[in-house]
Chain A
Amino acid sequence: MSARTLNRVMSFGISDLALEFVLGYVDDPRDREAVSLVCKKWYQIDALSRKHVTIAICYSTSPGRLRRRFPNLESLQLKGKPRAAMFNLIPEDWGGYVGPWIREIAEAFNCLKSLHLRRMIVKDEDIRVLVKARGHMLESLKLDKCSGLSTDGLLLVARSCRCLRILSLEESSISGNDAKWIHELAVNNSVLETLNFYMTELRVAPEDLELLAKNCRSLVSLKISECDISYLISFFLIATKLEEFGGGSFNDQVGDLDKYMKIQFPPKLCCVGLIFMGKNEMEILFPFAAALKKLDLQYTFLSTEDHCQLIQRCPNLEVLEVRDVIGDRGLEVVAQTCKKLRRLRIERGDDDQGLEDEQGCVSQAGLSSLAQGCLELEYLAVYVSDITNAALECLGTYSKNLCDFRLVLLDREQRITDLPLDNGVRALLKGCAKIRRFALYLRPGGLSDVGLGYIGQYSNNVRWILMGNIGESDRGLLRFSQGCPRLQKLELRSCCFTERALAMAALRLPSLRYLWVQGYVASPFGNDLLLMARAFWNIEFIPPKHDVNETEDRRGNIESQAQILAYYSLAGKRVDCPDSVIPLHPA
């Protein structure tokens, strides 16, 4: 045997056994991907030892392919509907059925302990199949923004999954009115650490929560639907290990505040988000405000001043979620007080200014203070009413740890102080080299073609981009597509690009594997769109609809524009498209 062949057999001097041990410590999916490309032997070892896989769009592959490659998976995350579904832009029956995956999991994935489904359709029957096969070893089940199931399905989980440590149903659409499943969970489980049904309409009985706290002594995180928290006084006394609590609600009976003041929160509680909390009730947080690490005020009734009063007592805050009622004044307080802040989300409040505080707008002033005050910031998502290039430059100068940046310019103000934002965006991207996720939603005139070119030029690390109302013409998009070497997922909304430019950009971006567009200039017969037709590239078209009775909207007609969705797929054309989705390629 020649020396060269011997080397190959020994896999570069490392024995197989040693290789397996070493690779056991390699967890990062990107490292694993690199490992699998070295040679067949390393590919096989990676395939057999891979513990977790995230499939960003469930139609990009098939359950069978996943099983053949990674038969020993312990943890799987599957995503179904496009991200735009969270904004009511995707038809409910678009797809993302988990059925085929569950059947494969039941048959073949014998090591699976953790399943996370995001924006998928999960039926009670799917749950039945899953728990029958894997219930005895399931440790973590997350149904995140899913729909299609009922409390009957939850009952099955509660009865069969005694090892469950994490059960999360956040923001899922679950029908059914009974709260039996919580009772069953409390009775059958003793190891539960996290229970989350925040932002659901599920009913909950306080006694069942008390039973849960008694039986599950490891419970550290509970997020529930609406339930007056004055009924949870006993629960809070029993759940002594609780670190996170979200949900609950405050009743409307004015003058009955004493019942809330009687609540004694668990000693380790440091992550809180209380729904409908108003100025008077927020005082119940004051005793332990200094210990707070996470605070969710998105669903509260606080004014700008209330935000200032509360936040100035929270010097240890790491994660803060608010609506823009926090205002520039509130952001000043954040900048002065919350030096450890890593994540900040500033959501969009009500457009009716009568309902929100008059001071409740965020602008360049607040952003600049924030940038200079909170140097640890890694995630910033903000809806602003006004913006300048200087504010973005400030972020570029100070926010060196920023990995995820999202800015939406609201259409409240007619005139914006400083547009276009070309130079600011360039400074931001150049200064914040770690940015991997980037969203910019402006208005016509907000970013020129030159600015769009800057985004392409300075987005070396960016994997996901959402852009709305930016650029002036196709030239901008084409310039953009010459850059962004690592861009995998691109979402465009309300832009002025033609189909031809979209197709050419899709072909040019070297790492692009997913494209979503709503609002573009269509070509006469859709021929231009098919310019990007190629092997393994699925193209779907969602024609516009004119629905008189949209379930999600009570205000009457919604006329929505057409959408294009394109993604790499090894599974070929979808076979489960509803009428509202037209697969164009493969035809």
Chain B
Amino acid sequence: MDLFEAQSKVISSDRSEVGSMKNLEDGAPDFALNGSAAETCVRNFPMMVPKQKPPAASQFIMFYGGSVNVYDAVSPEKAQAIMLIAAATAVASRASANKAASASACTKAPAVVGPGAVITAAPSPAAPVLTRSLSFLSSSASAEGVLVKQPQLTFNSSSSLSKLQDELPIARRHSLQRFLEKRRDRVVSKGPYTSSKPKDTAEVASEGQPQLI
């Protein structure tokens, strides 16, 4: 299963859905992202639609308690964090509501909506119907090639893996990193005291690649 193929199909067919939701009533933003959300979200599940207009930063639209709140320039990472918090508090209050054995709890099935996805009602938050992944492996990265050509293996979304590796270079131990930096300083500032000479002091001084960490 290629996550990105599914994602691109879903976005194109359902953009209209997202547009129509935006036209609902435009209440004043009163959604407070703090503990009070937890108490009231037993019955009403917040529906969140991070609308992505590539390549600009995202606009975050939130439906809560009958009003629509629009936030500009929310990065995908922040959006994910906000959604995670909401999911966590919803699960927690769902668990406590269930414990209270209240028959009226969860009468309204939470409607979980993703970017450009079909609006469906999920019976429980633990079984999302969406396959799209709002991850840092955005669709714009799919053009990147595979980092290492390994003909004997095929794997999911090779482009996403290569982007992962670029973003997650092998980390270096702090103590060793400090030593290597000190050594570079010494080599640049004084005559080389080692048996091997650096190719070019300018080359040594211009360490600009983040991948070194």
Interface of A toward B, CB cutoff 8 Å: 84, 86-89, 171, 199, 250, 252, 254, 275-276, 278-279, 298-299, 301-303, 305-306, 323, 347-352, 354-358, 408, 410-411, 414-416, 419-420, 441, 443-445, 448, 468-469, 472-473, 493-494, 496, 498, 518-519, 521-531, 533, 541, 543-544, 546, 552-562, 582, 584-587
Contact of B132 among A351, A524, A559 (CB under 8 A): A524
For residue B158, which residues in chain A have a CB less than 8 angstroms away from its CB? 444
For the complex, give the distance between the alpha carbons of A472 and B150 in Å.
12
Further pairs besides A524-B112, A558-B213: 8, Cβ < 8 Å: A171-B175, A302-B195, A415-B149, A441-B170, A526-B83, A527-B127, A530-B87, A586-B92
On chain A, the residues within 8 Å of B81 by CB distance are 541, 543, 582
- A524 contacts B134, C-beta separation under 8 Å: yes
Q: How many residues of B contact A (CB 8 A)?
A: 85
> Which of B11-19, B24-32, B61-69, B176-184 faces chain A?
B176-184
Q: Give Cα A216–Cα B155 distance, bound, in whole angstroms.
A: 62
Contact A420 B112 (CB under 8 A): no
In the complex, what residues of B have CB within 8 A of residue A347's CB? 173, 176
Nearest residue, chain B, Cβ from A357: B196
Q: How far is the CA of A109 from the CA of B191 in the complex (A)?
A: 56
Output the nearest chain B residue to A542 by Cβ-Cβ distance.
B81
Q: How far is the CA of A427 from the CA of B177 in the complex (A)?
A: 34
Q: Is the CB of A524 within 8 A of B84?
A: no
* Of B134, B137, B147, the contact of A443 (CB 8 Å cutoff): B147
A586 partner residues in chain B, CB cutoff 8 A: 92
Cβ B80 vs Cβ A472 within 8 A: no
**A524/B193 contact (C-beta < 8 A), A347-B176, A354-B198, A445-B150 known:** no
Contact A543 B153 (CB under 8 A): no
| Chain B minimum-CB-distance residue to A145 | B174
Q: Is B170 a contact of A496 with CB atoms below 8 Å?
A: no
Residues of B within 8 A of A354 (CB): 197-200, 203-204
Q: Which residue of chain A has the shortest Cβ distance to B153 in the bound complex?
A: A445
Using Cβ atoms and an 8 Å threshold, which residues of chain B touch A301?
A: 183, 193-195
> Does B98 reach chain A (CB closer than 8 Å)?
no
Q: A562 CA to B137 CA in the complex, in Å?
A: 12
Q: Is B161 an interface residue (CB 8 A)?
A: yes
With both chains docked as a complex, state the minimum distance between the C-beta of A347 and any C-beta of chain B, in angstroms. Answer: 6
Contact: A541 with B153, CB < 8 Å? no
User: How far apart are the CA atoms of A578 and B141 in the complex, in Å?
Assistant: 32
Contact across chains for B193 and A557 when beta carbons are under 8 A apart: no
A525: chain B residues at CB < 8 Å are 48, 83-84, 86-87, 112, 114, 125, 128, 134
Complex contact A557–B210 (CB within 8 A): yes
Q: Which residues on the A side are within 8 Å of B148 (C-beta)? A: 414-416, 443-445
Judge if B78 is at the interface, Cβ distance under 8 Å: yes
Do the beta carbons of A408 and B170 come within 8 Å of each other? Answer: yes
Inter-chain CA distance A544–B186, complex, in Å, is 34
> Is A472 within 8 A of B155, CB to CB?
yes
Question: Across the interface, do A561 and B168 meet the contact criterion of CB distance under 8 Å?
Answer: yes
CA distance A420 to B162 in the complex (A): 17
B108 to chain A, nearest CB (A): 17
Supposing A87-B174, A347-B173, A525-B112 touch, asked if A585 and B88 sit within 8 A by C-beta, the answer is yes
Q: Which 3 A-B pairs have the closest CB atoms?
A: A445-B150, A526-B84, A87-B171
A-B pairs with beta carbons under 8 Å apart, 25 shown: A87-B173, A88-B174, A301-B194, A301-B195, A305-B195, A347-B173, A348-B170, A355-B180, A355-B183, A411-B165, A441-B170, A444-B148, A445-B155, A521-B133, A522-B133, A523-B133, A527-B125, A528-B128, A533-B91, A553-B210, A555-B212, A561-B167, A562-B80, A582-B84, A585-B88
Residue of B nearest to A558 (CB): B210
* Contact between chains at A89 and B171 (CB < 8 Å): yes
Question: Nearest residue in B to A306 (C-beta to C-beta)?
Answer: B195
Asked if B126 is an interface residue, CB under 8 A from chain A, the answer is yes
Complex Cα distance, B135 from A357, in Å, reads 40
- B104: CB under 8 A from chain A? no
Q: Which residues on B sit within 8 Å (CB–CB) of A523? A: 128, 133
Nearest CB of B to A157, in Å: 23
Given A444-B165, A524-B134, A525-B128: A279 in contact with B170 (beta carbons within 8 A): no
Measured between alpha carbons, how far is A531 from B133 in the docked complex, in Å? 16
Interface centre among B77, B86, B160, B209 (most CB of A within 10 A): B77
| Complex interface residues of chain B between 68 and 83 (CB less than 8 A to chain A) | 75, 77-78, 80-81, 83
Contact with A along B119-130 (1 / 0, CB 8 A): 000000111101
Instruction: Return chain B residues, CB-CB under 8 Å to A444.
Output: 146-148, 150, 155, 158, 161-162, 165
A252: contacting residue among B126, B179, B193, CB under 8 A:
B193
Alpha-carbon separation in the docked complex, A586 to B91 (Å): 10
B residues less than 8 Å from A561 (CB atoms): 136, 164, 167-168
CB distance from B204 to the nearest CB of A (A): 6
Residue B157 interfacial (CB < 8 Å): yes
Residues in chain B near residue A585, CB distance under 8 A: 88, 91-92
Tell me the complex Cα distance, A395–B132, Å.
43
Q: Chain B: which residue is nearest A414 at the CB level?
A: B148
Q: How far is the CA of A586 from the CA of B48 in the complex (A)?
A: 23
The answer to whether B125 and A555 touch across the interface, beta carbons within 8 angstroms, is no
A278 touching B193 in the complex, CB below 8 Å, given contacts A199-B175, A472-B153, A544-B136: yes
Known: A88-B213, A496-B161. A298 touches B176 (CB 8 A): yes
Residues of B contacting A557 in the complex (Cβ-Cβ under 8 angstroms): 210
| A530 B88 Cβ-Cβ under 8 A | yes
Q: For the complex, what is the distance from the CA of A171 to the CA of B178, rounded to whole Å? A: 11
Residues of B within 8 A of A199 (CB): 175, 178
Q: Is B89 an interface residue (CB 8 A)?
A: yes
Nearest-Cβ distance from residue B74 to partner chain A, whole angstroms: 12
Residue of A nearest to B114 (CB): A524
The interface residues of chain B lying within 8 Å CB-to-CB of A555 are: 207-210, 212-213
Q: For the complex, is B152 an interface residue (Cβ under 8 Å from A)? A: yes
